[in-house]
Amino acid sequence: MEQKEQNLFREAIRIFKQGDREQAHQLLRQVLIENPRYAPAWLWMSEFVETIEQKRDCLQRTLALDPSNEAARKGLHILRLQEASAKPPSPALYHIDHEQRRARRLGEYLIEHNLISHSQLEYALKEQRLTHSSLQGARVPLGDILIRLGMLSSPDKLATALLEQQQDRQGETDGHPPEYLGEYLTQKGIISHEQLGHILAEQIRLRQIGQKMMLGEMLISAGYITPSVLEKTLESQRADMFRRFGFTDDEEEEETTDPE
């Protein structure tokens, strides 16, 4: 995360503790516009949004970016208890089951296809938490750790599991636009699942040798999309995401970070 965004986040928390909730809210929104993948900002944003749906979305985004975040996990549990107490038993139970389906993680898919064991997943998750701590918040993808540890040999198999996870997630979005660029492009029919899987596998291979490339750049290089299509898709994706949290059009236009 850039120093500017770190300073904005610290200032937002400082101002909030001093009692200026509105100004803290504005600063947090600016942090997320600059860097939509900063998990602590999504966690704090859950304190400012108004509806339960928005709170849940903030907490789920926090966990998607930082699976070890216990505060977000507890926050979701509290929301579920609140909803269960406010609804008749059957709908409440259905809601909890629905949330559990949405919470499925990559490791479950890999175990389901006999690509790794439960003990290997537990070890890799511990390694991920240690890496997360040593890098001061930077999250290393679980799949990358499994490959580095030799527990998962093929980027293609990892890409296949990621695609399956994505397709399941697309069916459970409650009508909301998808969060990730690859999902957005496949849902709109701009690229196929096979094309996305090919690029994801190549992206994983590159990361293993220390080369990081954005998904959009790789899709353009492969000839699957044009730069203009990528630009329009990113604009639409940003607008959809921030509209859900009451961000203004002016704020959306200031966003410069590619949310891939």
For residue 258, the model assigns a pLDDT of: 44
Round the average pLDDT of the chain to a whole number and report it: 78
Query: What is the pLDDT at residue 139?
Result: 65
For residue 24 the two structure tokens come to 């803290």
Mean pLDDT score, 171-176: 56
| pLDDT at residue 190, as a whole number | 93
Average pLDDT on 201-221 reads 89
User: What would the pLDDT profile of 42-86 be if each residue is shown by its tens digit?
Assistant: 899 988 888 888 888 888 888 888 878 888 888 888 888 877 766
Per the model's pLDDT, the better-predicted residue between 137 and 247 turns out to be 247
| 239 pLDDT above the threshold of 80 | no
pLDDT of residue 87 exceeding 70, the answer is no
Higher pLDDT residue, 179 or 33? 33
**Closest by CA position to 180, among listed 37, 39, 63, 28:** 37
pLDDT of residue 50: 80
